Structure 1
């Protein structure tokens, strides 16, 4: 199955679908409200309820998770299961009823592993869950599948044609994992024997189903090869429980892999599961903020900038101090050339940006200059902070324009000497103009003799004096 991606972010897997709009959305466009877990998100465009896709497009391919399947079988439940098989081989008497009960428990537990792994969880089921009354039913259903497979193989052998025999043998080997998956999930012998149901599993995985079968075959044969290696060095009383333990361990690995394959291809198989790594929700205030940003972006990409502005403006009524909301609102106003609204928003946005992210404040100021060539912020602290950032970006003329006549525009501002020291550095270091820098330093000496950074004024004056002599 080909993965679906967000209609508006081509690199993000889709987790939601709007059928009327024929749009797929990723978590980037549809945040979840952790304070309302039963809330069903609505389409940002038509407001119809979205269809959850689970992890159908976000699940990691099973062949990339091989180490995790081996680690899955090292949990207490699988190890207890493997230990039970090993102990039974040593201590359990040869009583048919007891062995049938053991196989019933084993069948139930392995089916439980497939079912648990199909939900994308990382925790294996406990062994106790296999000691339920329905264990016998699962065992006899699985036994029936194996018997029918053996009968088909026997009938194929009756033709005394090697090609027919091996064709049936390979077909059974390929169909068996899909049949086991169906039986584990549907609890129905009919599903496990139905060619249509088995074929659906194969079609869902496509050629990747062959990869799954190859891995399963290798894991199935592993205990046999281990037993063969140990047969010459260990007594039978030791080798048999070791092989039984490994059979239980590798059996869990195989079932975890089959279960995860269902989780990976859940969309084609008709299941919807998010898994342990499903989309996380956000607290209500953060959810409203993210929802507004995401919906505004969708509207902009659909060419509906006016609606996007309304969404952001509504969000700003509650989140007036949210930097991202203000920044997005400003950028959208500027992009649609809403001159008066953009300039009206700046007295609120610029102080916020200057305090939290001066680079954004600089960008907003430069935008404002394009809308109004002589624009100046009405806050001296904002002028100083933006000017400092502009000088760091080597935009000296724009910075000095912000600081020009600051003492006349804001005579009560206590940061004037600091701002003029900054301007003097701009003149001398960026523009190489010594005389304007000297005049600013002289102004600081005369008007602010108690300036706490007077030592820096003296140092800069000395540098300018040397530059003057050199000139």
Structure 2
């Protein structure tokens, strides 16, 4: 199954789907509300309830996580189980019935733990389940279902042998081996052997994974063969009393690794297998105010990409009614008004947005000022501090003439502003450094000296005058 991506952000994996609109949305478009985690999100276009896709589209392919599965089996609980089974194997009773009873107990406990491993891994949980948690539910039906599966496989092999054809026997054995991973996956998901043996259910698993199912099967076959291979290599060098627990330990360890791989394959292909689960590290959501802001911004972007600029503007307007001083909302609202060339509304909004941006992000305010000048060539903010802050940001961007225009006749426009010397010192630097016009710079510095003799900026004025004098001399 190929990954599905957000319709509006092709680089972002999809986590939600709207059937009526045939649209996929990523977390980029569907922020979560941490204060209402059970809130059902709706489509921003048609308001229908969305279907959660889980983290399937963000999952790392299972074949890229092979080393992690081997490390998974080295956690405390799997090692404890493997050690326990290996230890018990040293003290098997001599009687047939007692041996069979002990084997049933061991296999039941092991199969119960392996079931818990698959369930945990299907939720992408990195930590293996503890033994107490795995054995605490009291349900050991998987043992009997696996026993039924073994008996059924043996029956099929017996029927194949009746044909007295080596080809038929080998094909039957290969087919049974091929479908076993899919059957085990369905068995853990459906909790029913009959449901797991349904050809449609088996086919759904194989179809979901496509050719990648063969990769899963190859690794499962290798893990199944690992204990036998190691035991064969050690058979001539170790006594039976040592070889038996070593082989048993490796067998349980391999089964845990295999179960972790099968479980993660379920997580990776969860959408096609009919369930959805979030990743362990998935973002829990945002507090209510932040969530509403992000939701409004995302919906406005979606509306805009759908060619619904008016609706996008309406969404942002409602968000600003709730949070009039949020800089990001105001910035997006301004950008949209400017893009739509809505001159009057954009200029009205600038009266609120420009002072806000000048305080929090002067560079952003400078961009808004340049936009305003395109709509109205002689636009000037009505606040002295805003003019000064925006002028400074424009000068920093080498928009010297635009910045100086905000400081022209500053003392006449704002006679009560206490920082006129600071503004004119800024203007003098603009003339001298930005335009190379030394005479206007000298006049401004002289004006500061004569009109504001007590200004704390006189040292800076003197330093700039010295620089200008050297430049003029050259």
User: Normalized against structure 2, the TM-score is what?
Assistant: 0.95
Give 1:219's aligned residue: 223
Q: Does 1:464 align with 2:468?
A: yes
Return the offset for 1:279. Answer: 4.7
Distance 1:30 1:185 in 2: 28
449-458 vs 336-345, greater mean Cα deviation = 449-458
Residue by residue over 1:39-61, the C-alpha shift from the partner in whole angstroms, topping out at 9 and shown as x without a partner, is 11111011111111112322221
Q: Does 1:134 align with 2:139?
A: yes
Return the offset for 1:324. Answer: 0.5
Tell me which of 102, 111, 123 is aligned to 1:119.
Answer: 123
Q: What is the count of residue pairs matched by the alignment?
A: 469
Secondary structure of 1:49's counterpart equals: coil
234-243 vs 454-463, greater mean Cα deviation = 234-243
Return the offset for 1:83. Answer: 1.6
Tell me which of 160, 173, 193 is aligned to 2:177.
Answer: 173
Distance 1:89 1:276 in 2: 36
Give 1:321's aligned residue: 325
Residue by residue over 1:256-300, the C-alpha shift from the partner in whole angstroms, topping out at 9 and shown as x without a partner, is 110111111111111122232345321111111111111111111
Give 1:189's aligned residue: 193
Q: Does 1:352 align with 2:334?
A: no
Return the offset for 1:451. Answer: 2.2
Return the offset for 1:194. Answer: 2.2
User: Residues 376 and 152 (structure 1 numbering): CA distance in 2 closer, same or farther, change over 3 Å?
Assistant: same
Distance 1:231 1:349 in 2: 80
- Checking the alignment, whether the CA contact within 8 Å between 1:299 and 1:305 is kept in structure 2 is yes
Return the offset for 1:368. Answer: 0.2
Q: Does 1:409 align with 2:435?
A: no
Return the offset for 1:225. Answer: 2.8
- Checking the alignment, whether the CA contact within 8 Å between 1:54 and 1:278 is kept in structure 2 is no
Instruction: List 4+ stretches of structure 1 deviating above 6 A.
Output: none
Give 2:114's aligned residue: 110
Distance 2:412 2:166 in 1: 103
Distance 1:141 1:300 in 2: 55
- Checking the alignment, whether the CA contact within 8 Å between 1:14 and 1:26 is kept in structure 2 is yes
User: Normalized against structure 1, the TM-score is what?
Assistant: 0.95
Residue by residue over 1:115-145, the C-alpha shift from the partner in whole angstroms, topping out at 9 and shown as x without a partner, is 222122223222233365432x321210111
Return the offset for 1:343. Answer: 0.7
- Checking the alignment, whether the CA contact within 8 Å between 1:17 and 1:53 is kept in structure 2 is yes
Residue by residue over 1:45-85, the C-alpha shift from the partner in whole angstroms, topping out at 9 and shown as x without a partner, is 11111111112322221112223222322333222211211
- Checking the alignment, whether the CA contact within 8 Å between 1:191 and 1:198 is kept in structure 2 is no
Give 1:451's aligned residue: 455
Distance 1:451 1:221 in 2: 87
Tell me which of 333, 337, 343 is aligned to 1:339.
Answer: 343
5+ unaligned residues in a row in structure 2: which ranges? Answer: none
Give 2:86's aligned residue: 86
User: Residues 229 and 341 (structure 1 numbering): CA distance in 2 closer, same or farther, change over 3 Å?
Assistant: same
Write out aligned runs for 1:36-51 (5 A).
36-51=36-51
Distance 1:447 1:247 in 2: 92
Give 1:20's aligned residue: 20
Q: Does 1:291 align with 2:326?
A: no
Q: Does 1:209 align with 2:190?
A: no
5+ unaligned residues in a row in structure 1: which ranges? Answer: none
